[in-house]
């Protein structure tokens, strides 16, 4: 969880970490979780337009200039489009340094927890706070991932505009770590 005030770079930090996991291009100094092969991931904003305008832009670049975001152009193999909103990506295929291909799906958590049901995921990133039922569904998708004894990871980057919610409590629990 990266929880801080507005305009602090939370989204950029989240996009950077997701790009590392998708590509396997970890810097030498990286001490966080590493995936050693291609991953299957979802990223989401509150609404489809926000996912396109913010998350998609940070990861892949502006529409018409895909490959200028955190995922390097040489690693962005292909994309499929969503019907709505216009210029929105549904799925991106990213070259991993291992030779395999990572899959990245774009979602909106305003669609509810049902939109996050399905298969196991190595990584799910929520940019801005989601509801507890969506967060819980993400935990289920990342709990057991084939070939990953520690399961997958859920990343949440947001400003706590709603105060001390269940999602905040899931990370910080009863005020631990609050300054």
158-172 per-position pLDDT tens digit = 766 666 677 777 766
CB 145 within 8 A of CB 152: yes
Please tell me which residue in 128, 146, 148, 176 is annotated as part of the active site.
128
What's the pLDDT band for 110 if we cut at 50, 70, 90?
confident
2-54 residue pLDDT tens? 544 455 567 888 899 999 999 999 999 999 999 999 999 999 888 888 888 88
Q: Is residue 177 part of a domain?
A: no
| 49 tagged catalytic | no
Taking the whole predicted model, whether its pTM rises above 0.85 is answered as yes
Evaluate whether residue 65 is within a structural domain: yes
Structural domain including 145 reads: 2-26+35-160
Residue 61 sits in a domain whose CATH number is 3.40.50.300
pLDDT category at 59 given cuts 50, 70, 90 is very high
Domain count for the chain, please give it: 1
3-state secondary structure of 107: strand
- The kind and range of the H/E element at 78 are strand 76-81
């Amino acid at each position: 969880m990266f929880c801080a005030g507005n305009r602090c770079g939370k989204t950029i930090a989240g996009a950077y970490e997701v790009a590392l996991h998708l590509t396997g291009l970890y810097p030498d100094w990286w001490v966080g979780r590493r995936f050693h092969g291609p991953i299957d991931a979802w990223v989401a904003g509150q609404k489809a337009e926000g996912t396109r305008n913010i998350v998609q832009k940070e990861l892949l670049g502006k529409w018409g200039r895909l490959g200028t975001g955190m995922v390097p152009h040489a690693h962005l193999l292909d994309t499929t489009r969503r019907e709505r909103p216009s210029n929105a990506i549904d799925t991106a295929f990213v070259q991993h340094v291992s030779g395999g291909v990572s899959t990245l799906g774009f979602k909106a958590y305003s669609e509810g927890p049902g939109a996050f049901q399905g298969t196991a995921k190595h990584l799910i990133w929520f940019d801005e706070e989601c509801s507890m039922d969506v967060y819980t569904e993400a935990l289920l998708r990342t709990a057991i991932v084939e070939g990953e004894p520690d399961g997958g990871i859920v990343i949440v980057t947001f400003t706590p505009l709603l105060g001390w919610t269940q999602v905040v409590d899931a990370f910080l629990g009863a005020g631990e770590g609050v300054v």
